[in-house]
């Protein structure tokens, strides 16, 4: 069980890391360039910036590449056989980018719907705030690297990820809030 949880975290790490990095390095020009949707509310809001998107995706990519470079060392160290970000029909870079980019695009889509529902920037939207990046990463992986995704994301892994992601997200965000990177602890 513990081993499957660690494998689940391993598989999702590029997605998990992209959000905190976006929060850490984000700021500056918002992706929606300040424009409003036809309902008079912001398209995405000031919480979604180009810098956050770029640093989040690149950070996730770097982490995924580091995982692949050290996969056998880490496997030996923890005595766990970790799945690679590779597959005969899916490129490693595309796999990692699907996870980190998908996570941030999921987060961006969520902001679009939050604004449509009248939520202010940063206002809590329980469960959705905690799973947007997971669903985004899965959809991107399903679209772009389906053979790899189908090979490693079995029902057990999916259920574990759905259970642990909100917990990891909350712990990381509370930490981010305490060190002053995030404005809200969610």
**Residues forming the site for ligand CTP (CB under 6 A):** 22-23, 26-27, 45, 47-49, 52-53, 104, 107-108, 111, 114, 121-123, 182
Q: Which is nearer to ligand CTP, 97 or 104 (CB)?
A: 104
The CA distance from 46 to 123, in Å, is 12
CB of 22 to ligand CTP, least distance (A): 4
Residue placing its CB nearer to ligand CTP in the complex, 90 or 173: 173
DSSP code per residue over 64-122? HHHHHHTHHHHHHHHT--PPPS-BTTB-HHHHHHHHHHHHHHHHHHHHHHHHHTTPPTT
Minimum CB separation of residue 39 from ligand CTP in Å reads 15
Nearest residue (CB) to ligand CTP, 112 versus 152: 112
Shortest gap between Cβ of 73 and ligand CTP (angstroms)? 32
Residue 84 or 122: which CB sits closer to ligand CTP? Answer: 122
Q: Least distance to ligand CTP from the beta carbon of 96, Å? A: 18
Is residue 153 within 8 A of residue 138, CB to CB? The reply is yes
- Confirm if 103 and 60 have CB atoms less than 8 A apart: yes
Q: Which of residues 41 and 121 has its CB atom nearest to ligand CTP in the complex?
A: 121
Exposed / middle / buried, residue 183 (Cβ in 10 Å: 0-12, 13-18, 19+): exposed
Residue from 11, 109, 24, 108 nearest 58 by CA: 24
The least CB distance from residue 40 to ligand CTP, in Å, is 17
């Amino acid at each position: 069980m513990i081993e499957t949880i660690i494998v689940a975290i391993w598989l999702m790490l590029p997605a998990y890391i992209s959000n905190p990095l976006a929060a850490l390095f984000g700021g500056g020009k918002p992706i929606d360039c300040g424009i409003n949707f036809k309902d008079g509310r912001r398209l995405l809001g000031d919480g979604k910036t180009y810098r956050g998107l770029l640093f989040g995706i690149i950070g996730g990519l770097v982490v995924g590449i580091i995982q692949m470079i050290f996969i056998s060392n880490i496997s030996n160290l923890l005595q766990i056989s970790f799945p690679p970000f590779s597959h005969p029909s899916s490129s490693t870079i595309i796999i990692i980018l699907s996870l980190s980019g998908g996570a941030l695009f999921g987060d961006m889509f969520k902001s679009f719907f939050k604004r449509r529902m009248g939520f202010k920037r940063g206002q809590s939207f329980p469960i959705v705030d905690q799973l947007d990046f997971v669903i985004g990463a899965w959809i991107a992986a399903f679209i772009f690297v389906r053979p790899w995704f189908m090979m490693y994301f079995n029902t057990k892994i999916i259920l574990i990820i759905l259970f642990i992601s909100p917990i990891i997200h909350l712990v990381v965000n509370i930490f981010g809030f305490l060190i002053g990177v995030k404005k809200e602890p969610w």
